[in-house]
Amino acid sequence: MMSLTFKKVDPEEWMKERELEIKKRREQYPIPLSTRTRKEILRRCEILKIMGDDGIGSYYYQSNDQELVDRYSWVLDPDHDDLLAKPFTITL
């Protein structure tokens, strides 16, 4: 049987944490993005979109560099390398 635990979240605290995260990412990936970094974010977003990840908006490919960093640079985190770093192949 599955059980869920709901955590009470303070919206103001959540916004502060989110703003700090975005600031950190903007420092890590300066604008304008290098062509290599931009292509890698888009490639990883495409893989996740194909796999059904609802965290990737349908408009991601039209995003400017700032939007890519703010919304999707998390795909470059090492936590996702096991799935996203290598070429993605679908075999039918």
At 81, the amino acid letter reads D
Residue-level pLDDT at 43: 96
In a domain, 10, yes or no: no
> What is the C-alpha separation between 33 and 28, in angstroms, rounded?
10
Domain encompassing residue 52: 35-83
Has residue 73 been placed in a domain? yes
Does a structural domain hold residue 30?
no
Position with higher pLDDT, 43 vs 4: 43
Tell me if 21 is assigned to some domain.
no
| pLDDT value of residue 9 | 86
What is the predicted pLDDT for the residue at 92? 86
* Contact between residue 68 and residue 38 where contact means Cβ atoms under 8 Å apart: yes
Which pLDDT belongs to residue 89? 87
Into how many domains does the chain fold? Answer: 1
Q: Is residue 25 part of a domain?
A: no
Query: Which of 2 and 8 is assigned the larger pLDDT?
Result: 8
Is 91 inside a domain boundary? no
Is the preceding omega at residue 32 within 30 degrees of 0, hence cis? yes
The answer to the question of residue 63 being in a domain is yes
Q: What is the pLDDT of residue 37?
A: 96
Residue 9 CB-half CA count within 13 A: 9
